[in-house]
């Protein structure tokens, strides 16, 4: 049984207001469509100040998704908590959890883009402290009881839909992040699955039962087409923009995110990072992922034209989903090893 998901960052280089509004509407329409077609989850991401308009407000976007869906888990993956006031964040997340009737999962991250830290007046060196502080404030705030914070009394109401609040995971790319997640969070989602073993060991060292392995995941991009050659020629510029934009950010920040810069679409295709599959090949991929495997699709990758994205999704619905068993993952399963 495969766990299908969507992910959005809403890049759209050179767009006018009408095109960008259409992209946002398409995201909501696709969320509603996926909810009806058995998708398990949808994730939204966060970056700031990007030339291509990368989504800066995942909370607002997730609220829109909550309004048009009824079953899918909604992931903030990742929410850069170092750039948010933790008290206001606690309020917004509680409201979002209520709007979604408990379908929210929060993946808190410290961030890695120097330009964004400068924009918000945050020191990159202060990330560990700020992440820990944010988690502590969220935990306390979601009790709806008054607590003292920096010499003042704070009370956050209403409480989230679930107690003690939505699953709160940490994202990260280091062993230090893994150990921090074991101490304070419900789970750990590492960049490129690195350091998950360190997280498991840290949980065990704290006297708790370590969680099992992460689900087998498919490639971070898949496009389904009857004619892969023709499809690649149409979607390649969007894939190249995404890879180069993420790759440049990773290079400037010194973080290995798995993305690389490419001079041509031919070089990008040869890398294998953006597979275009026939429906039969997509079915085989789902089968190879095995029980509980995850396949996550970014339909609007790199600002892809909505019509092109719908072509792949419709083929997925018509010729792939009927041939594979789908599973829906309850949001509580993300609570791997609560402290």
**What structural domains and CATH numbers belong to the chain?**
2-334 (3.20.20.30)
Mean pLDDT, to the nearest integer, of 250-279? 93
User: What pTM did the predictor assign?
Assistant: 0.96
Between CA 249 and CA 237 the distance in angstroms is 18
End-to-end CA distance of the chain: give it in Å, rounded.
30
- Quote the pLDDT of residue 17: 95
Q: Are strands 152-154 and 147-149 parallel, antiparallel or unpaired?
A: antiparallel
- Quote the pLDDT of residue 194: 82
Question: Can you read off the two tokens belonging to residue 122?
Answer: 């945050």
Question: Can you read off the two tokens belonging to residue 292?
Answer: 């509980």
Between CA 36 and CA 164 the distance in angstroms is 29
Q: How far is CA 222 from the centre of its chain?
A: 16
25-39, 190-204, 219-233: least confidently modelled range: 190-204
The helix or strand, by DSSP H or E, that contains position 248, with its residue range, turns out to be: helix 228-253
Residue pLDDT, tens place only, 68-118: 999 999 999 999 999 999 999 999 999 999 999 999 999 999 999 999 999
User: Cα separations (Å) of 177 from 11, 123, 251, 255?
Assistant: 28, 17, 20, 14
């Amino acid at each position: 049984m495969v766990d299908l998901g969507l992910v959005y960052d809403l890049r759209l280089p050179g767009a006018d207001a009408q095109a960008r509004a259409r992209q946002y509407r398409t995201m909501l329409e696709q969320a509603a469509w996926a909810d009806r077609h058995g998708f398990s989850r949808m994730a939204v991401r966060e970056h700031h100040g990007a030339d291509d308009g990368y989504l800066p407000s995942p909370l607002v976007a997730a609220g829109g998704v909550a309004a048009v869906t009824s079953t899918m888990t909604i992931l903030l993956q990742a929410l850069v908590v170092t750039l948010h006031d933790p008290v206001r964040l606690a309020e917004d997340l509680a409201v979002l959890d209520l709007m979604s009737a408990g379908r929210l999962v929060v993946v808190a991250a410290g961030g890695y883009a120097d330009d964004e830290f400068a924009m918000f007046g945050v020191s990159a060196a202060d990330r560990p402290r700020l992440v820990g502080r944010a988690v502590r404030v969220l935990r306390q705030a979601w009790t709806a009881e008054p607590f003292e914070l920096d010499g003042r009394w704070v009370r956050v109401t209403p409480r989230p839909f679930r107690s003690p609040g939505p699953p709160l995971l940490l994202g990260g790319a280091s062993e230090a992040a893994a150990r921090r997640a074991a101490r304070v969070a419900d789970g750990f989602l590492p960049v490129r699955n690195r350091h998950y073993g360190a997280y498991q060991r840290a949980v065990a060292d704290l006297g708790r039962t370590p969680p099992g392995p992460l689900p087998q995941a498919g490639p971070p991009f898949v496009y389904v087409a009857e004619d892969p050659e023709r499809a690649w020629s149409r979607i390649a510029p969007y894939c190249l923009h995404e890879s180069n934009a993420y790759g440049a950010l990773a290079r400037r920040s010194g973080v290995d995110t798995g993305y690389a810069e490419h001079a041509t679409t031919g070089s990008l295709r040869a890398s294998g990072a953006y597979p275009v599959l026939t429906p039969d090949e997509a079915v085989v991929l789902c089968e190879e992922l095995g029980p509980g495997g995850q396949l996550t699709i970014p339909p609007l990758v790199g600002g892809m034209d909505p019509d092109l994205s719908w072509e792949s999704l419709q083929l997925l619905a018509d010729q792939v989903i009927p041939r594979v068993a789908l599973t829906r993952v309850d949001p509580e399963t993300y609570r791997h090893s609560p402290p």
